[in-house]
Amino acid sequence: MKNKLISIFILYATFLSCLNQKVDKKERETVIDISKTDTFLNCKQFGIYPITTIYNLKTFANEIKINSKTIDYYKCSCSLLNFISLYSEAEIECSIGLQVSNDINLLNERYQIYIQLKKFELAESDLNEIINNFKNNTNPMNFYNRSIVRKKLLKLTDSLDDINRAIELKSDPTYYRNRALILIQLNRTKEACEDLKKIQNMTDYFHSYRNNNNDLFNKHCNNL
């Protein structure tokens, strides 16, 4: 009985201590486990990981600086910092790495980081280089992503051209849905509804996404 009362008292004291602590949300430690990710496995050789696989993000951001600055190092540091959502730090690592070598993997990483940072003009520039300079013009995702970026920049005609190219390369419900959204913005609702109808007949379409598509169809197409 005595031991039970002691345990209850300790728990209560701990609870009160927690209530009295004032912790700024920005200062709270965040932990994640990346031990099974491809990036982690590829970067182990550079020592770009802590002793344990669960770690403090701020500590990791410091530890990531310890190794020689080869292009492979920058691929790892940029990718890992992006993975743990330290986008500003990841942007710096990618940009320094691209000064070492104009590497398509770093460009791929950096344009995604720019999107997270809402630097859409810079993201478009990186995608232009990937598509034009690296002749990577058969990957539909490049055109799809540039279409998304150009839509953010309100370059709707260019965005439509890109999503058309993506659809030429691959028939994907996500591509059709995004083309429909662009067409709606261009007041070409009838064409948008044709795309939305196509999506309903696609088998590789997730149930939750189908519901969203049906809502979009009901909003814009029921009266046509």
Please write the tens of the pLDDT for every residue from 145-168. Answer: 999 999 999 999 999 999 999 999
**What band does 37 get if pLDDT is binned at 50, 70 and 90?**
low
Q: Indicate whether 132 and 151 sit together in one domain.
A: no
Q: Which of 174, 122, 168 is nearest to 146 (CA)?
A: 122
Q: Indicate whether 84 and 130 sit together in one domain.
A: yes
Domain hosting 118: range is: 34-136
Q: Which of 181, 204, 202, 201 is nearest to 193 (CA)?
A: 181
Can you tell me the distance from the alpha carbon of 62 to that of 59, in angstroms, rounded to the nearest whole number?
Answer: 5
- The whole-number pLDDT of residue 217 equals 83
Torsion of CA 61, 66, 68, 72, to 10 degrees: -30
Alpha helices in 56-206, H assignment, sequence order? 57-63, 71-83, 87-100, 104-116, 120-128, 140-152, 156-169, 173-185, 189-200
Q: Indicate whether 126 and 196 sit together in one domain.
A: no
Cβ neighbours for 193, distance < 8 A, ≥ 6 positions apart: 180, 217, 220, 221, 224
Which three-class secondary structure state does DSSP give residue 205?
A: coil
Our count of domains for the chain comes to 2
The answer to whether 175 and 155 are in contact (CB under 8 A) is no
Q: Is residue 8 part of a domain?
A: no
**What band does 68 get if pLDDT is binned at 50, 70 and 90?**
low
Q: Which of 178, 102, 114, 185 is nearest to 140 (CA)?
A: 178
**Of the residues 86, 110, 136, which one is the last residue of a structural domain?**
136
- The whole-number pLDDT of residue 46 equals 57
Span of 45-49, 88-92, 145-149, 176-180 with lowest mean pLDDT: 45-49
pLDDT-above-70 percentage for the chain:
64
Per DSSP, 136 falls in state -
- The whole-number pLDDT of residue 44 equals 58
Can you tell me the distance from the alpha carbon of 118 to that of 179, in angstroms, rounded to the nearest whole number?
Answer: 21
- The whole-number pLDDT of residue 124 equals 97
Which one is predicted more confidently, 126 or 198? 126
- The whole-number pLDDT of residue 45 equals 57
**What band does 18 get if pLDDT is binned at 50, 70 and 90?**
very low
Q: Indicate whether 41 and 130 sit together in one domain.
A: yes
Q: Indicate whether 131 and 151 sit together in one domain.
A: no
Over residues 83-103, the mean pLDDT reads 90
Termini Cα distance of the chain: 76
Q: Indicate whether 151 and 127 sit together in one domain.
A: no
- The whole-number pLDDT of residue 13 equals 43
Can you tell me the distance from the alpha carbon of 135 to that of 138, in angstroms, rounded to the nearest whole number?
Answer: 8
Q: Indicate whether 182 and 208 sit together in one domain.
A: yes
Q: Is residue 12 part of a domain?
A: no
Q: Indicate whether 122 and 161 sit together in one domain.
A: no
Q: Indicate whether 169 and 90 sit together in one domain.
A: no
- The whole-number pLDDT of residue 220 equals 86
Can you tell me the distance from the alpha carbon of 48 to that of 72, in angstroms, rounded to the nearest whole number?
Answer: 11
Over residues 115-128, the mean pLDDT reads 96
Over residues 181-186, the mean pLDDT reads 96
